[in-house]
Structure formats: C-alpha cells, structure tokens
Amino acid sequence: MPESSTKPYLIRALHEWCTDNGYTPHIVVTVDANTVVPRVHIHDGQITLNIGTLATSRLVLGNDYIEFQARFGGITEQIYVPVSAVSAIYARETGAGMGFEVAESQPYPGSESEGAARAASPVKCVSESDPGKPAATEPAPGDDPKRPHLTIVK
C-alpha cells in the first residue's frame, strides 16, 4: 500500500492553527477542470478562498478534496477543490502559512466535473529558509517585497 500524502494533514493542521489563533485561513487553488468554484473569481488560473468557520458551511477538509458551501455576491455556492490543486494555505492577517506543489487532480467521486477549465499558473513562492535557493517560480513584477512568501513543500 503506497504511503499517503502529508498535504491534507498539513492543510488541516494549519487550518486549526489559524482558527485557534483567531486568524482567517485562506487557500490558494490552481483551478483546473476538476475544481468547482465561481468562475468570475478566478484570476490567472487561481482562486483564493476563505475557509474560515464564519465564511463556510459544511466544511470538509478531506484527504482527497475540500468541500464546503460559501456565499459569493449573496449567492450560496457549493465549492469542490481537490487537495492536489491546493497550492498554499495561509493566515490572511499575517501571511504565515505553507505552499505546496500542485499535482493533476481527480474529478469529484460519483459526478462529472463542472469545474472551470482554464490554463493554470503555479503559485509564486520563494524559500524563506534559504533566500539564495532558486524559487519554484519567480515572484511576479510588482509583488510586494514586504509581503511574506510561502515555502514549497513536496
């Protein structure tokens, strides 16, 4: 039996850490055909979602997917995000969090994907622990140098 990924466990742990410290946990998702999110909120192939307890209903932080209901512009939407499509989780207030590699995602079990099929770009991350180490991708021009950067975890 292959070893399971640490990614969903780290996402749950950081969600709990944010909640325990009064922070608002956000995830950055690389949108693909298996991601079900409001298309109007996708920018450069990614969407940032508030997964705090006050912003979500029926939140499930599973090993394969994150699912919840949230309101966008006054309309309740069902959100489905494969864990493999999550590129980061962080506290909105401090920027503290963790970045991840994104893998090809699988459709939601038992249904056809209704996700937005758009070209996706990877999250822009640099290593805080070793600034001389090349980043997974370079920061985009105009990124705030004072803004915390996330570290990619494999």
Domains for the chain: give ranges and CATH numbers: 7-122 (2.30.30.220)
Would the pLDDT of 130 be above 60?
no
| Pairing verdict, β 65-72 and 86-91 | unpaired
Which pTM value belongs to this model?
Answer: 0.71
110 contact partners, CB below 8 Å, separation of at least 6 = none
Q: Which of the four pLDDT bands, split at 50, 70 and 90, describes residue 110?
A: low
| Rg, C-alpha atoms of the chain | 15
| Token pair for 67 | 């699912």
Position 12 scores a pLDDT of 98
Would the pLDDT of 132 be above 80?
no
Q: Which of the four pLDDT bands, split at 50, 70 and 90, describes residue 67?
A: very high
Place of tokens 């590129």: 87
State in Å, rounded, how far the first CA of the chain is from the last one. Answer: 20
Separation of alpha carbons 147 and 154, rounded Å:
23
